Structure 1
Amino acid sequence: MSNEDEQPALKSFTLVLPVWNEREVIEPVVQEILSVPELACIRLLLVDDGSTDGSAELLDGLETKDGRCAALHLPHGGKDRALWAAFGRVETDWLGIMDSDGQYDPRDLVELFRQADTNIAAVWGVRARRHDNRWRKIISRAGRLAKRLILGSCTVQDTGCGIWVAQTRFVRDLNALCPEPAGQVHCHLPELISTRGGRIAEQAIRHRSRLGGQAKYGALNRMGPGLRSLLQARSMLRAASRG
């Protein structure tokens, strides 16, 4: 833990929420975030990844009602492209990511941010007790093994965790490094940050069952994009190490 002068202020923090067909849950998730006293001053960037269930209109309504919220609408291109677009628009020194399905507790953002200081590039969440089915856990373990084989290591324990914070400068230029991401390259950002000389800390976080709706990525539709993403991440890391 750094001293108070070295810790960034939450007012210089933007939280990015990628949204794809989360009409049932997005409003309660945003309300829960803004009800946390320590998060009252942050900015929310709500990134609509081409939703077709009415989520886009809800995001526009949230933007109209609360000046802390901004909606960004994109054609459907997957989570990678949604995040890449958001990172290029963040103006604050720090940003955070939280999935919009209600499985993460926004109070954990405060704990992640408390670890952040000028000597740390990112703080990654680690799900202490995962509320996923057994099959998804098996697929996650297989993914970690594939990652070690292709990238050589896993920088963090929980590479697929959907809540983390980072210094914006480490991820702002991802459109240039990887303009056509396969869909899961974001899972390998800890390795990119580390390759660029950034120090990464980890913090145990809570994990909950979904508030509603359905999971967007099953085991089968993750395998192909997962392998392509690993190969893209390897190329991206090599380019970053040369640069």
Structure 2
Amino acid sequence: MDISVVIPLYNEEESLPELTEWIRRVMLENQFRYEIILVDDGSSDTSWKVIQGLKTQHPEIVAIKFRRNYGKSAALNVGFNAAEGDVVITMDADLQDSPDEIPELYSRIKNGADLVSGWKAKRYDPLTKTIPTKLFNAATRSMSGIHNLHDFNCGLKAYRKEVVKSIEVYGEMHRYIPVLAKWAGFTKIQEQVVQHYPRKYGSTKFGAGRFVKGFLDLLSIFFVGKFGKRPMHFFGAIGVISFLIGFFITIYLIFDKLMSIANGTAYRNVTDQPLFYLSLVAILIGTQLFLTGFIAELVSRNSTDRNKYHIEEVI
């Protein structure tokens, strides 16, 4: 099979017939062998009934329904697991992504790209959505080192099959799939300017809380990608630095008191000085961080996936 189109959806009953027909037309025009994987993320409207009706007309549709709303990341992860196409393309179900972009996305994957991310250079979203998105994209570029992407969260993306089978998407991680792909060793990441359309039906399903969750998930990705298999390098290093700072402050305080005694000058008790409490806190924090790193290292070494690595080829 050439292409798997994975579409997570939540309460998109109006747009589904038009979207699937649009995709079908593009596929037939380009003579692609394809499947459309619709993942209903616990819709409360009639989306599932619409999908059932479409399935009877179009056997290329694969339909998956969650019992409740788990979120876009969960829907994508399940869709990735079900995908069988050589190239996997994701898009939103609200008709803001154009299926007409599919041939070019497919071609770029076939020409060697691991992942091609869409960039909505001209967007039809309110400022309350576009401004925070720009800030998050800038932060993600800085932390991930993927400097050639302008829009990490664009729903329209294309992947080599090996990419989606090698990553796990959860929480709000769908915003950072290019980062997950990079950490998994897929570095041929490209960008394609895509057409963005105004929402035709309904309203956006994402609230302001997604920005806080997205930022926390970005920190999680950064930490797990860098130190997931060697947590002692993170906690241990910071712990040792903190401990040494406290230790040297303590040595200074003791030396200062001994010199005062030797010179017969007036001096304060060590415990009367603010530096004493600073050194005490630094030593305690350093010890705790070091022990945290040690425990995390034990957990990592006993994890079932401690030796799970992505192998590109065996000959």
TM > 0.5:
yes
CA distance in 1, matches of 2:141, 2:83: 31
What is the TM-score normalised by the length of structure 2?
A: 0.67
Compared CA separation, residues 128 and 214, structure 1 to 2 (3 A): same
Paired amino acid for 1:169: E
1:124 to 105, 110, 117: 117
Compared CA separation, residues 224 and 39, structure 1 to 2 (3 A): farther
Compared CA separation, residues 39 and 50, structure 1 to 2 (3 A): farther
Instruction: Give structure 2 stretches of 5+ with no counterpart.
Output: 231-306, 310-315
Structure with a larger share of its residues in helix: 2
Q: Which has the greater radius of gyration?
A: 2
Q: Is residue 14 of structure 1 aligned with residue 17 of structure 2? A: no
Q: CA RMSD in A?
A: 2.2
Q: How do residues 35-114 of structure 1 correspond to structure 2 at under 5 angstroms?
A: 35-36=25-26, 37-38=29-30, 41-74=33-66, 75-114=68-107
2:127 to 119, 130, 134: 134
Contact preservation (8 Å) 1:105, 1:206: yes
Q: CA deviation at 1:86?
A: 1.0
Structure 1 residues 197-242: Cα deviation after superposition (integer angstroms, max 9, x where no partner): 3301211110000110110113x22122212221232244234999
Q: Secondary structure at the match of 2:75?
A: helix
Structure with a larger share of its residues in strand: 1
Contact preservation (8 Å) 1:182, 1:228: no
Partner of residue 219, structure 2: 231
What is the TM-score normalised by the length of structure 1?
A: 0.85
Paired amino acid for 1:200: I
Instruction: Give structure 1 stretches of 5+ with no counterpart.
Output: 1-10
Identity of paired residues, percent?
Answer: 27
Partner of residue 216, structure 1: 205
Q: Secondary structure at the match of 1:35?
A: helix
Q: CA deviation at 1:153?
A: 4.8
Partner of residue 138, structure 2: 145
Q: Is residue 198 of structure 1 aligned with residue 187 of structure 2? A: yes
Q: Secondary structure at the match of 2:212?
A: helix
